[in-house]
Structure 1
Amino acid sequence: MRAVVVEEFGGPEVLKVVDVPVPVPGPGQVRIRVSATTVNPVDLATAAGLFAGTGVVPAGRAAIGWDVAGVVEEAGAGVAFAPGDPVIGLRARLADPQGAWAEQIVLDAAAVAPAPAGIDPVAAATLPLNALTALQALDALNLKTGQTLLVTGAAGGVGGFAVELAALRGLRVVAAAGEHDEEAVRGFGAEFFVPRTEILAEGVRKRVPGGVDGVLDAAVLGYAALDAVRDGGAFAAVIGNGPDNYRGIRIQPVRIAADGTALTGLSRLAAAGHLTLRVAETLPLAEAAKAAARFAAGGLRGRLVLVP
């Protein structure tokens, strides 16, 4: 079968489509025939060698791809899924020898969920990594109904889901994004909007005097976003450890974990129309390097999806 790998680190051009053995599921695992997978920042970071030398990525060949939507082909012992089941899942270990940019993949059943009913697998593939990241960041913030939340990068993959999930929890959302994204993020459920043309903290505090109760920093703005938080508030850093703690603000680095139970809940929300699944473009797996270059160029709203 075909899979995308990196044998030497660099830009999108190092991504290669190669023939690899069909993986075999063990106990507690499933083999999925991939219908669609997505391009995410972590894929380009892996290809560039960001994790090289950490002991996390194996030397010699790195696998690419986290999101998967497809159909179960084979199930190991002790698994509730059966061949033919449409599923979505997340490969969340960089050390795995095979990624989701492939024709088939083996995942732990605990990282898999039923696919959202009535949703095309191309759209369904955009859900796992970004929606789980948003959900786990919101859980880490632990805000209560009626409190205020700033979401940076609110028109992006993680940010868009974060706005929708926060609104569903009864939070009052301040969305920070490009000025042309206001209609979209208000459609996600944002009550307030701060365009990039404004100084972020000033814009937030003008709309929410005293500052917000928490920040979900999907755009990785760091201190610029931290300054919008009230004393004693909370800050979720989606990438990295976030800024240093001061003014009693609780800093929560978010470390994505595959979670089939949580993903099942997200799948149901998507099927019910409560989460917006956005596809920017679709390309064949054979054009993985082209897709990565397109992603690196930026300006996308929604995910690039690869179809084997």
Structure 2
Amino acid sequence: MRALLVDHTAPGGLRIGAAPDPVAGPHQALVEVKATSFNFGDLSHVRDLPDGTVSGWDAAGVVRTAAADGSGPPAGTRVATFGGEPAWAALRAVDTAELAPLPDEVDFGQAAALPVAGLAALNALRRLGPLLDRRVVVTGAAGGVGRYAVQLGALAGAHVIAVAGRPERAKGLRELGAAEVVASLGEITSPVHGALDNVGGPGLAALWELLAADGAVISIGAASGEPTVFPPYSTIGRRRRLEAYVTDVAAGSGPDLAYLVGLVASGRLDPQIGWRGSWEQAAEAAEAFFARQVNGKAVLDVS
């Protein structure tokens, strides 16, 4: 099959080449991939992988062969997929517990933009508890996870404060449901109930100081690449909570993925695709992604 292979001599560290077809286990469907997407995590991980590796986390396509154990949808079903098997390829073997059927209203590109970023935002917000009329901060709000978090938080009734460092990155955040859009945490002067942090570094420590009693900050990513240092005793004796979000691909995320798909189909969730093109343009997409020129998700159509 054709696939995006790690190649450290190629632009963006990726090139299209030949890879062995995946062999589906009894509880896996074999999916013909129609679209895939980039995340900060999987793109960053490329530099640590040996040449010839196929990676990627998100994909959408059509079931070519149904799971042998009878679970999951039949052949010919359009699906969004998540899981541990490589997604940047023409074929993907997927545990049936990690896929969701697609209605006609959702195209493959929209579906491919959902899994990692959408599930991360959804599950992190759930960890904050009830959100109705609660002040919630989202850092890195211009990225894929951030734009989902803004929308899902607003749908849950939260007063969402979106943090985006540059005006061009902040475009559209109010339309997605942000009650406030700020360029830095220093502009937030009142305590918040919770925060979703995609940036890490000094900002994570600053978010900790902004939390009200019984508030929580969920650390999703560390796009800043900087360490977080908490002042002495700042974490002692306070009724606050700091959690690290960990994606568990063995947990059976299919129902949650189906929920997100349903929101897209009904027009209540916008996948926010900031770049879309052929996977032949993977290097261009990766370059734009790392240059922070993509507001939302970068989607690649597979051919």
CA distance in 1, matches of 2:218, 2:240: 10
TM-score with structure 2 setting the length: 0.86
Q: TM-score, normalized by length of structure 1?
A: 0.84
CA contact (8 A) 1:71 1:87 kept: yes
Task: Say if 2:209 is the partner of 1:254.
Answer: no
Letter in 2 for 1:22: D
Q: Which residue of structure 2 aligns with residue 233 of structure 1?
A: 215
Residues 251, 11 of structure 1: CA spacing in aligned structure 2 closer, same or farther, 3 A cutoff?
Answer: farther
Residue pairs, 1:104-183, within 5 angstroms: 104-177=91-164, 178-180=166-168
2:71 equivalent in structure 1: 79
Taking the TM superposition and a 5 Å limit, the aligned residue runs for 1:61-76 are 61-76=52-67
Identity level (%): 34
The amino acid that maps onto 2:199 is A
Q: Deviation of residue 182 (structure 1)?
A: 5.2
> What is the rounded CA distance, in whole Å, between the counterparts of 1:271 and 1:288 in structure 2?
27
User: Mapping of 1:12-23 within 5 angstroms?
Assistant: 12-23=11-22
Query: Distance between the aligned counterparts of 2:41 and 2:170, measured in 1?
Result: 27
Kindly provide the CA deviation profile for residues 172-224 of structure 1, in whole angstroms up to 9, marking residues without a partner as x: 2111123345561111112222224xxx1x4212xxx3x10111112333223
**Code of the aligned partner of 2:188:** V
Instruction: For structure 1, list consecutive stretches of 5 or more residues without a partner in the other structure.
Output: 53-58
Structure 2 SS opposite 1:185:
coil
- Structure 2 counterpart of 1:81, one-letter code: P
Q: Does 1:263 align with 2:262?
A: no
One-letter identity of the residue aligned with 1:154: A
User: Post-superposition shift, 1:78?
Assistant: 2.6
- Structure 1 runs (4+) deviating above 4 angstroms are 9-13, 180-183, 240-245
**Structure 1 pair 60–15 and aligned structure 2 pair: CA distance change class (3 A):** closer
For residues 223 and 153 of structure 1, what CA distance do their matches in structure 2 show? Answer: 15
Structure 2 vs 1, CA of residues 285 and 180 (structure 1 numbering), >3 Å: closer, same or farther?
A: closer
Deviation at 1:294, TM superposition (A): 2.8
Residue number among 170, 181, 186 corresponding to 1:193 in the alignment: 181
Gaps of 5+ in 2: none
Rate the CA distance shift 1:78–1:144 in 2: closer, same or farther, 3 A. Answer: same
- Residues paired across the two proteins, number: 286
**1:13 deviation in Å?**
4.2
Please tell me the residue identity of whatever aligns with 2:218.
Answer: A
**Matches for 1:268-307 after TM superposition, within 5 Å:** 268-307=262-301
Q: Following the alignment from structure 2 to structure 1, what is the Cα–Cα distance between the partners of residues 12 and 293?
A: 20
Q: Which moved more, 1:77-86 or 1:292-301?
A: 292-301
Q: Which amino acid aligns with 1:140?
A: R
Aligned counterpart in structure 2 of residue 219 of structure 1, from 199, 205, 219? 199
RMSD: 2.3
Please state how far the C-alpha of 1:229 moved relative to its aligned partner. Answer: 1.7
Cα 1:307–1:181, aligned 2, differ >3 Å: closer, same or farther? closer
